Structures are given as C-alpha cells and as structure tokens.
Amino acid sequence: MKKRLVVALLVLVVVAGIVGAQGKTYQLRTSTNLAGTGTIGKGLAYFVDLVNKKSAGRIKAVANFGAELGSQAEQVEMARTGSLEMVVSAPGTGPGTWVPQLMMFEFPFLFTDNDHYLRVLKGLEGEVSTLVKPYGFIATAGQSMGSRHMLTKKPVTKLEDLANLKMRGPNAVYISMFKSLGAAGTTMDWNEIYTALQTGVIDGMEASPSMINSMKFQDVAKNLTITDHIIACVYYFFNEKWYNSLPQDLQKIVMDCAQEAAQYQAKLDEADQVAALEKIKAAGVAIHVPTDKAKWVEACKPMLAEYKTKGPAWNSFIDKMLAIK
C-alpha cells in the first residue's frame, strides 16, 4: 500500500511538471539590423508569425528591424547576454568577432552561383553551430542575401576606375578585397551608409540589388557596376541557454519555423533581386557591366592562399567549405 502511494505521488509530480511546462509562456525577442522591407526582414516577420501561430501562444515572439536596438554588433552582444533570444546576423560580422573564419562566407569570386551558395549554407549549418557554441549560440536557417555589386558616386566601368575610391565593406574580407582591387576599404554599420554616401564620407558601397533598394541607397549614388563579386548571408543565432530552456516540443517548433522562414525568404529573394534592379534603374542609376571581369577575378586570386595561412582553424573551415559543390 505504501509502495503504491509513493508511485502515485511520483506520477502526480511528473504530470504536474508536464502541465506546468505546457502552461508556461516563453518570450522570443528577435532582431536584425536590416530593414523590415528587405527579404531578410520579411523572412524574420514571417518567422515570428509562424512561431506565434504554431506554438499556440506558448511562445510570444516579436521582431525588431534596422537600428532600432543598435548596430549589428550591439544586437549580437544582446543575444549573447540574453537581452535578445535570437539575432539575425551575417556570420562574419556577428559571431565572427569570436570566430573570424566565419568571414569566409563572404569571400570574393568563391561560389559558382546562388544555388551553390545555398548548398554551402545548409551543408555548414552544423559546423557553424559547433563553432559558435562556446559563445552561447546555436545557428540555423542560413539565408542568402544575393549576389553583390558595387554602387558608386562616379562611374566604374573597368577595374582601373576603382583605384583609390573609398568603399564601404562590412568586415576584413571586404577590406582585403578592395585593397586587391586598388580601392580603399572602410568598415561602418549598415545603417550609417546612406548618410556617408550623401556627405561624401565614402565614394561607394556594395550589396545586392534587393539590399540596396531596401535602403534606397540609389537616391545618393547613381552608378551600379555589375560585379557579382561576393554573395553574403545571414543565419539565425539563438541564445543557447534560452533554447535549451524550452520543452522539446517547442524546440522543434522553433527550429521547424526557422527552416520554413528560410525557404520562404529564398523564394522571396530570388524574385526581389530582379524587381529591385528594375527599381534602381528607374531611379536613374546607370548600369555598368565591366568587360574586364577576368582582371577583377585574377586580382583577388591570391587572397585565398593568404587566408589559408591564417591558421589551422581557418584552413579547416575553408577546406570544408570548398568540399561542398
């Protein structure tokens, strides 16, 4: 009798724990430094709506966009310390602070096309999570931001035209690239670019058509050179402690929603790159296609060997990246 009573009490404790976990509400504060009007921002809004719907209110998800919560670096730090539960960030300019080899996701003339790039993002998802785990993150839902071109205040029709122009880039790889191409690179936060172009602090910047149009940079720079030099990306970086605090069913919902949002963004981005380029043209921007593209590629070739010499961690990551075809 006594044994039955103990078993019954244990069952009650377990049931009470399950009911308590199911009744608890979890907060999911998310942020991106990109505009809500761009495809990454729209993908994040879609993710938040999915989580709220599929968790049936057990997770209360909200999103912030642009510089609402500060720069990208500040938002990443907020996610690391728990002031945010998730940040949408470029790996190289976000957690790349601690894991610099993640900057290889944005490397000049390395990927065949966007489909190849998406395979790389998916194939390296587990590796990225492993690398950022010591800093309190889980990575998932890699998303391409499209092939990038150069937007400048004066025409750039050939490699020599880039000489000594002050060009904005988000991290050290871009600065190395600009140096290889004869320009002067400088870093600044995404949300500072418009004013920097407007006031002449920089001569140009680079991004995909969708990203350029989302911030209306074409209003202050009227030349776009089609270079396809880099494809850039973001991942969703979750605060690991928060994620591990979720019941398993909610963990699955969050991850499923993240993957669904990534698929949604991919379809959206493909169409938006085309539409955005048309909008940029309509704003009076001159489109230049350099005939000396081979010279651009050749100028950047030595960079890969240089980055491989940065150490075993770099070399290992580069080899894993190049193995995905």
pLDDT by residue (tens digit) across 87-97?
999 999 899 99
**Residue ranges of domains in the chain:** 18-322
pLDDT (0 to 100) of residue 33 = 95
pLDDT tens, N- to C-terminus, the chain (325 residues) = 444 544 444 443 444 444 454 679 999 999 999 999 999 999 999 999 999 999 999 999 999 999 999 999 999 999 999 999 999 999 998 999 999 999 999 999 999 999 999 999 999 999 999 999 999 999 999 999 999 999 999 999 999 999 999 999 999 999 999 999 999 999 999 999 999 999 999 999 999 999 999 999 999 999 999 999 999 999 999 999 999 999 999 999 999 999 999 999 999 999 999 999 999 999 999 999 999 999 999 999 999 999 999 999 999 999 999 999 9
- For residues 39 and 271, give the distance between their C-alpha atoms in angstroms, rounded to a whole number: 10
Measured at the alpha carbon of residue 311, what is the angle toward residues 305 and 313, in degrees to the nearest 5?
Answer: 110
Residue 59 tokens read as 């997770």
pLDDT (0 to 100) of residue 18 = 47
CA distances 292 to 31, 205, 313, Å, are 40, 20, 34
What do you get for the CA distance between the two ends of the chain, in Å?
Answer: 66
Q: Contact at 8 Å (CB) between 108 and 303? A: yes
- For residues 310 and 184, give the distance between their C-alpha atoms in angstroms, rounded to a whole number: 22
What does the pLDDT look like over 266-304, one tens digit per residue? Answer: 999 999 999 999 999 999 999 999 999 999 999 999 999
pLDDT (0 to 100) of residue 23 = 77
- For residues 32 and 89, give the distance between their C-alpha atoms in angstroms, rounded to a whole number: 7
pLDDT (0 to 100) of residue 8 = 42
Residues 6+ apart with CB under 8 A from 52: 59, 60, 61
pLDDT (0 to 100) of residue 4 = 54
What DSSP string describes 22-72? HH--EEEEEEESS-TTSHHHHHHHHHHHHHHHHTTTSEEEEEE-TTTT--H
- For residues 175 and 122, give the distance between their C-alpha atoms in angstroms, rounded to a whole number: 26
Query: Nearest CA to 273 among 149, 109, 122, 111?
Result: 149
Residues 6+ apart with CB under 8 A from 222: 153, 284, 285, 286
CATH 3.40.50.970 fits 18-322, yes or no: no
Residue 135 tokens read as 């800093």
